[in-house]
Structure 1
Amino acid sequence: MSGTGTVGGSPGSSRRITVDNETTRPFTSGIAQLNHVAAGQAAKATPLAAFPLHGRNLDFFTPVEKVLLMFATAVIETSTVVEQAFGPGLLVDLTGVAQRDVTYDVDHGWGPTKPNWTTPVDSLSLLTPLLIQQDRSLPASA
């Protein structure tokens, strides 16, 4: 299958990625991150998010610098879609900083939970509203 489209930045937003499907065929578009592996092996692109992209439409992506810390008792492969928290977690905002200091205690959970750069996540919480955010500068239908 062949397709035509463009991928690039958007005027006025240095971080926004646009994917323009100039065909009448549906595609899946998304973003990936290089996953560094052992020395001597090639880095692999690991999908972070994927969404339908219908013909003659645009998808916008603006990566944010946040990470969700959460433990699981089962082995979860990188890029596996997880919709619900396995246990308590902590969403950490890394915007503008290289690192944050957090703690974990098996009985008391994650800390700190009071700074404006953390959001506690309860067991069984739905993760999509935390990790996929509507761009407030776009109309709701965009």
Structure 2
Amino acid sequence: MATIKSLNKWANARSYYIIDIIRIALGVVLFIKGVQFINDFNLLSELFTPLEKIFGGMLLIHLVIPAHLIGGLLLVFGLLTRWAVIVQIPLLIGAVLINITGEMVTSNLILASVTLLLTIFFLFFGSGKHSVDYYLKMQK
């Protein structure tokens, strides 16, 4: 707990608008990706064909969409940022692995890799000073 408090103090002392804009853009990208998966569910199910034989493979397919939608919205507002990012990291690792082991689409690989790196950054950095988390913390 002390580590998280020290990370929050460090992040709040160095909170710049550009980092908030990047956090909001990351949330928008995740939300849009969730909407794309809703519109083209066949694409998502094709990506997960190797996991169909695994127990819970269909459950994973149905968890990706709400995780992207809800996680994207939470990141946009800066609410529960670290929790939203923790949920996204395994999905993004899977996206990178699917792009590497399956059909290689370089634009998807670059998008998944950059998104993964940004989520890891926000796992440590937090939501920053211009977020709902910071506002709620200051209200106490």
Tell me which structure has the larger Cα radius of gyration.
1
TM-score of the superposition, structure 2-length normalised? 0.25
The answer to which structure has the higher strand fraction is 1
**How high is the TM-score relative to the length of structure 1?**
0.25
Structure number with the bigger relative contact order (C-alpha 8 A, sep ≥ 6) is 2
